Chain A
Amino acid sequence: MSAAGPAGATGHVAGERHRRLRIAALWIASLIFVGYVTAPLVWLVSSSFQSEREITSKPPHWIPHEPTVQNFAAIFAAPKKDVTYETRRAADPASGGFIPSTAANLLPAMANSLIVAISVVILNLLVAIPAAYALAKIRFRGRDASIYAILTTRVIPDIALVVPFFLFIRNLGLLDTLASLIITYLAVTVPFSVFILTNYFEGLPDELDKAARVDGCSRLQTLLHVYVPLSLPAIVAVILFAFLASWNEFLLALMFTQTPNSQTLPIIVASFTSDFTISFSFINAAGVLAIIPPVLIALLFERYLVSGLTAGAVKG
């Protein structure tokens, strides 16, 4: 350490103070950052347990003084309630006792979102894992061209694809179906998944591939027995990426979905803000429901996200 040396005791003390200052600075910086990241989330959760009156109080209550689950109750009761102009007018906006006219669509939309996101994740893996293996480990004619083609699609912004996608989906007769979303989300996510996995596979030694092949594995068995188990961190990254991209997607869903048949969560939640009156507490409760699935998935795969599980093992 820097403290050791002819300066002796005083130098040592100075070094110690310096070290403590640095640790303190690091702590403060970390706390500020954590606060910055978590504050919106905390407010979302906190306000979802507040009434519409409490939510608008000044200063805001970070911890609800009169916690209530009425927002969540309203969401789950919504399908049974008949929401009309009259029933909404009858409720007192200040109490939060009213709900948006499209509230009943929230739970079906969540189911739609889940179906789309899970399908996109599964299809992403089915397509991207073999594709990445081929690109990373098999030298075939056109390999470089394929990689460039795949990467190029990633620099095209989604907005530029909306019209071609729309014509494509309409001509297939898929407007207002979940399939329209699954197909277009795949087009947007698969290239990136292939990219992540190709990079990861390329980092695994070629000799591992060869060893498996002479040990009696076909290409597919090599992939399943050796590459997939060694790539779990990258595969989990792909799962999270594909899930979140589909779960959050708004623009394409707005174009292709028209009815609750196929509308997804972001579309329905957005529709709450264009109602006669806006209930922030209700929207925030919907927001809390919307973040539960991604959080569950992140927790499920948390141990693979902590990289380094295989990092030491792979390097010879």
Chain B
Amino acid sequence: MASIRFDKVGKRYANGFVAIENLDLEIRDREFLVLLGPSGCGKSTTLNMIAGLEEVTSGKLCFGDQLVNDIPPDRRDVAMVFQSYALYPHKTVYENIAFGLRMRRTPQAEVDARVRSAAQKLAITHLLDRRPSQLSGGQRQRVALGRAMVRRPAVFLMDEPLSNLDAALRISMRAEIKQLHEEMQTTFVYVTHDQAEALTLADRIVVMNDGAIEQIGTPHDIYEKPATIFVASFLGAPPINTLDGEIGGASGRPVFRCGDVALALPPAIAAPTGSKATLGLRAEDVTLDPKAQDDVAIDGVVNSILPIGSDQFIGMKVAGREFFFRLAKDQACAIGDRVRLAALTNRLHVFDAASGRSLAGG
């Protein structure tokens, strides 16, 4: 049972490097919060501060009402799963899982019961006598999960726990972690640079960049209403198509212009005519439509086609930039075809060119 509050938290490393600046964040009790961002943006630093493994150098960090800035990790009720698993090589799987309980002087009968029930849940009972060196990556991952589970911590921290697994295992483990959260009923803070993982697992996502928060929101909000160009381009595969241009306005309706591209924007776009803007258009937000009206149309010559089973990606030059669009497989086109696409204008994203912030009103 714990909510966690960051109040203007900063982290300056001993070498003077400022990894986190002025972080304000409220993590709710029992939620599944994902810290998402590119490598080096300060996700692990943030997680380590929650664990007490890195000192908070400015601001306040609270668990519930309690200020924890100076409380060492062994006196915080947190458990953590690491990217490298960090199993104790000299201990058996059983002892690895039991270690945290033993350090807290849990009675032996209780230790045994918890270790065995966790092992059963994770299907590693037959491995209890092995040492970590005799396990596969996926098995080590489960042991690391078990070690954290048996503690029944108030806060469950995971730092890229799946990134050392192969793709298939990664996807099945996602489901297990989600289920674990439901069973454990505790606060989960999960760090990843994999947007798909974040979108699948999170109740809320915190997108970080360069030591600061870009946006906090549900997976839906983050994907559909990116607050900044950074968020828009970090989520989605392939990355969102972007184009630099300016806002024009004809008869009260804003229009985005760049070269021969002119797209009508939703009326809510709040920007004065003539201001510089960046357009974001996701690959899937177009349809093939030869009869599209001029103010929603994108014209171009197909220069690449990448079938991906269910759909196909087509590449074409738009106003000098290479764009990728996702079309259904039955929408036939071939390399060299001149095509007209209709953009779903209510799904266009427009950002201020200077600040990168979304111009969507409200």
A210-B51, A210-B53, A216-B100 known; A313 vs B90 contact (CB < 8 Å) = yes
Contact B14 A216 (CB under 8 A): no
Is A42's beta carbon under 8 Å from chain B?
A: no
Residues of A within 8 A of B190 (CB): none
Does A139 lie at the interface of the complex (its beta carbon under 8 Å from any beta carbon of B)?
Answer: yes
Q: Which B residues are CB-close (under 8 A) to A208?
A: 86, 88
Whose C-beta in chain A lies nearest to the C-beta of B151? A215
CB-CB under 8 A for A214 and B14, given A226-B88, A230-B90, A316-B85: no
Cβ-defined partner of A215 (8 Å) among B72, B85, B131, B147: B147
Which residues of A lie under 8 Å from residue B79 when comparing CB positions? Answer: 214-215
A interface, CB within 8 angstroms of B: 139-141, 143, 205, 207-208, 210-218, 221, 225-226, 229-230, 310, 312-314, 316
Whether A313 and B86, one on each chain, are in contact in the complex, defined by CB atoms closer than 8 angstroms, is no
Q: Are A229's CB and B86's CB within 8 A? A: no
> A207's contact among B14, B76, B86, B131, by CB below 8 Å, is which?
B86
Q: Are A214 and B90 in contact (CB under 8 A)?
A: no
- B132 contacts A211, CB within 8 Å? no
Using Cβ atoms and an 8 Å threshold, which residues of chain B touch A314? 89
The answer to whether A210 touches B74 (Cβ under 8 A) is no
Asked, given contacts A205-B84, A210-B53, A230-B90, whether A313 binds B74 with beta carbons under 8 Å apart, the answer is: no
Is B104 among interface residues, defined by CB-CB distance under 8 A? yes
Residues in chain A near residue B151, CB distance under 8 A: 215
Give CA–CA (A313, B86) in the complex, Å: 11
Question: Which of chain B's residues have a CB closer than 8 A to the CB of A211?
Answer: 80, 82, 86-88, 147
Chain B neighbourhood of A312, CB < 8 A: 133
| A215 B89 Cβ-Cβ under 8 A | no
**A309, closest chain B residue (CB):** B90
Pick from A141, A216, A310: contact of B89, CB under 8 Å: A310
28 contacts between A and B (CB under 8 A): A139-B13, A139-B14, A141-B14, A207-B84, A210-B48, A210-B82, A210-B86, A211-B80, A211-B87, A212-B99, A213-B51, A213-B53, A213-B73, A214-B52, A214-B76, A214-B78, A214-B80, A215-B74, A215-B103, A215-B151, A216-B74, A216-B100, A216-B103, A218-B72, A221-B74, A225-B99, A313-B90, A314-B89
A residues within 8 A CB of B82?
A: 207, 210-211
Known A-B contacts A214-B73, A230-B89; A313 and B132 likewise in contact (beta carbons under 8 Å): yes
Find A229's partner among B84, B90, B104 (CB 8 Å cutoff).
B90
Distance (whole angstroms) from the CB of B180 to the closest CB of chain A: 17
* Residues on the A chain within 8 Å of B140, using CB: 316
Size class of the contact patch on chain B: 20 to 34
- Count chain A CB atoms within 10 A of each CB in B53, B74, B157 and give the residue with the most: B74
The interface residues of chain A, by DSSP majority, are classed as helix
Question: In the complex, are the beta carbons of A217 and B53 less than 8 A apart?
Answer: no
Across-interface contacts of B133 in A (CB, < 8 A) = 312-313
Nearest CB of chain A from residue B161's CB, rounded to whole Å: 12
A214-B76, A230-B90 known; 13 other A-B pairs, CB under 8 Å? A205-B84, A208-B88, A211-B86, A211-B88, A213-B74, A214-B78, A214-B100, A214-B157, A216-B100, A229-B90, A310-B90, A316-B140, A316-B164
Contacting pair B90 A215 (CB below 8 A): no
Interface residues of B in 118-169 (CB under 8 A from A): 131-133, 140, 147, 151, 157, 164
Of chain A, the residue at the smallest CB distance from B76 is: A214
**Which of chain A's residues have a CB closer than 8 A to the CB of B74?**
213-218, 221
With A230-B90, A314-B89 as contacts: A210 and B84 at CB distance below 8 Å = no
By a CB distance below 8 angstroms, the chain A residues around B84 are 205, 207, 316
CB pair A217 B103 closer than 8 Å: yes
Interface centre among A143, A208, A210, A225 (most CB of B within 10 A): A210
Asked if A313 and B72 sit within 8 Å, CB to CB, the answer is: no
B55 (CB) vs chain A CBs: closest residue: A139
- Beta-carbon nearest neighbor of A141 in chain B: B14
The 5 closest A-B pairs by CB, nearest first: A313-B89, A216-B103, A207-B86, A215-B100, A211-B86
Judging by beta carbons under 8 Å apart, are B14 and A210 in contact? no
Shortest CB distance B148–A (Å): 8
In the bound assembly, the distance between CA atoms of A108 and B346 in angstroms comes to: 96
CB distance from A142 to the nearest CB of B (A): 10
Q: Are A221 and B103 in contact (CB under 8 A)?
A: yes
* A140-B14, A314-B89, A316-B84 known; A214-B51 Cβ under 8 A: yes
- CA of A234 to CA of B65 in the docked complex: distance in angstroms? 45
The reply to whether A313 and B131 form a contact with Cβ atoms under 8 Å apart is: yes
A54 vs chain B, min Cβ distance (A): 53
Closest to A229 in B: B90
- Kindly provide the distance from the CB of A160 to the nearest chain B CB, expressed in whole angstroms: 34
Complex Cα–Cα for A130 and B140 (A): 29
Nearest chain A CB to B359 CB, angstrom units? 42
Q: CA A260 – CA B219 in complex, angstroms?
A: 81
B80-114 interface (Cβ within 8 A of A)? 80, 82-90, 99-100, 103-104
State the CA gap A310–B83 with chains docked (Å).
21
Residue of B nearest to A204 (CB): B89
Interchain CB contact under 8 A, A214 and B53: yes
Smallest CB gap from A219: residue in B:
B72
Known: A207-B86, A313-B90, A314-B89. A213 touches B14 (CB 8 A): no
Residues in B neighbouring A313, C-beta threshold 8 A: 89-90, 131-133
Query: How many Å lie between the Cα of A139 and that of B85 in the bound state?
Result: 22
Q: CA A29 – CA B237 in complex, angstroms?
A: 62
Which of A139, A205, A225, A310 meets B86, CB within 8 Å?
A205
Contacts of A210 in B (CB 8 A): 48, 51, 53, 73, 80, 82, 86
